[in-house]
């Protein structure tokens, strides 16, 4: 994600605690209190500018969503979309996805979306990939027993790595798409990266996975 310096971004996030909670660890185990209705909770780690999660929240009022993004100057774009949409089923968490268990109790989350995660192609950066073992461990901790991870990317190397990493961990694949945009998958909501890279002709890979506990 190319960074534009937005010195005002933190102030804007701070001005909207109704959507971007401060000291968000206090909501561990209590996220449902932040939404209009108590209903299944889906989170996206690394939302970028937030188009996917905002459109998902509009399309699925029966689900509560949390957009998680580490970069201040990026997550402020999610807030801007939410200020326009004012969705009662969307919250924004400014945090590092590496620490998910500080923010969520075991079994608090029903589904995790990972979209076009940074590939970190160098072997020495493997631990930064959102589908590496330390992240998976967090996902396993916070997901309900039949919870799922939905992942998509245009990066073949990251997709292959994810298949490897998930199988090493013992995660089961529910379904795999090797060319999402030329498949019969219905209801795909494109992310900003997906739009950019698919318009260049890149193939989009997708998988759904679950822990076989």
- Tell me if residue 11 is catalytic: no
Residue closer to ligand SAM, measured from CB, 126 or 192 = 192
Exposure of 181 by Cβ count < 10 A (0-12 exposed, 13-18 middle, 19+ buried)? middle
Which of 43, 56, 68, 81 touches ligand SAM (CB under 6 A)? 68
134 binds ligand SAM (CB under 6 A): no
151 binds ligand SAM (CB under 6 A): no
Bridge partners of residue 15, in order along the sequence: none
Tokens of 106: 């075991």
46 binds ligand SAM (CB under 6 A): yes
CB of 194 to ligand SAM, least distance (A): 6
41 binds ligand SAM (CB under 6 A): no
Listed residue (172, 177, 180, 183) closest to 211, CA to CA: 172
Residue closer to ligand SAM, measured from CB, 115 or 131 = 115
For residue 4, the SS3 value is coil
Angle among Cα 90, 93, 94 to the nearest 5 degrees reads 145
Among the options 14, 118, 146, 212, which is catalytic? 118
State the catalytic residues: 118
């Amino acid at each position: 994600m190319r960074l534009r310096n937005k010195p005002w971004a933190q102030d804007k996030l701070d001005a909207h605690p109704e959507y971007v909670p401060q000291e968000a660890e206090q909501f561990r185990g209590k996220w449902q209190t932040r939404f209009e209705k108590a209903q299944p909770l889906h989170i996206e780690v690394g939302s970028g500018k937030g188009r996917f999660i905002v459109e998902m929240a509009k399309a699925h009022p029966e689900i509560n969503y949390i957009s998680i993004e580490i970069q201040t100057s990026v997550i402020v774009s999610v807030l801007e979309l939410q200020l326009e949409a004012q969705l009662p089923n969307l919250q924004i968490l400014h945090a590092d996805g590496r620490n998910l268990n500080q923010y969520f109790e075991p079994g608090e989350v029903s589904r995790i979306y990972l979209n076009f995660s940074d590939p970190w192609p160098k072997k020495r950066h493997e631990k930064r990939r959102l589908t590496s073992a330390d992240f998976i461990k967090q996902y396993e901790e916070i997901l309900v027993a039949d919870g799922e991870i939905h992942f998509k990317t245009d990066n073949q190397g990251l997709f292959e790595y994810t298949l490897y990493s998930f199988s090493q961990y013992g995660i089961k694949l529910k379904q795999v798409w090797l060319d999402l945009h030329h498949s019969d998958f219905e209801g795909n909501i494109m992310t900003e990266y997906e739009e950019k890279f698919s318009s260049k002709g890149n193939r989009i890979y997708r998988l759904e996975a679950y822990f076989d506990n």
